Amino acid sequence: MSERRRVGISELHVAHAPDTLVTYGLGSCLSITLYDPLIRCGGMAHTLLPAPRPGRGEARPGKFVATAVQGLLAELLALGARRERLQAKLVGGANMFENLLTPNGDLIGERNTETAREILGGLGIALVAEDVGGNYGRTAELVLNSGEVRVKSVRGPSKFLIL
Partner 1 sequence: MSFAHLTDAQRDALREISNIGMGHAAGALSRLLGETILLKVPRVSVADLGQVPELLGGPEQEVVGVSLRMHGDAQGSMLLIFPCASALQLLESLLGPRSVEEDLDEMAASTLKEVGNILASAYLSTLGGMLRLSLLPSVPALARDMAGAVVDHILIDLGRAGDEALMLETEFHSRAGEGRLLKGHFFLLPDPDSIQTLLRGLGGVV
Residue 90 touches partner 1, criterion: CB under 8 A: no
* Choice from 3, 102, 123, 162 touching partner 1 (CB under 8 A): 102
In angstroms, the CA 25 to CA 152 distance is: 9
In angstroms, the CA 68 to CA 6 distance is: 16
| Minimum CB distance to partner 1, residue 11 (Å) | 7
* Choice from 43, 61, 137, 147 touching partner 1 (CB under 8 A): 137
Residues 18-47 within binding reach of partner 1 (CB under 8 A): 24-29
Cβ neighbours for 54, distance < 8 A, ≥ 6 positions apart: none
| Minimum CB distance to partner 1, residue 98 (Å) | 6
Residue 60 touches partner 1, criterion: CB under 8 A: yes
Whether the upstream peptide bond of residue 52 has omega within 30° of 0, thus cis, is no
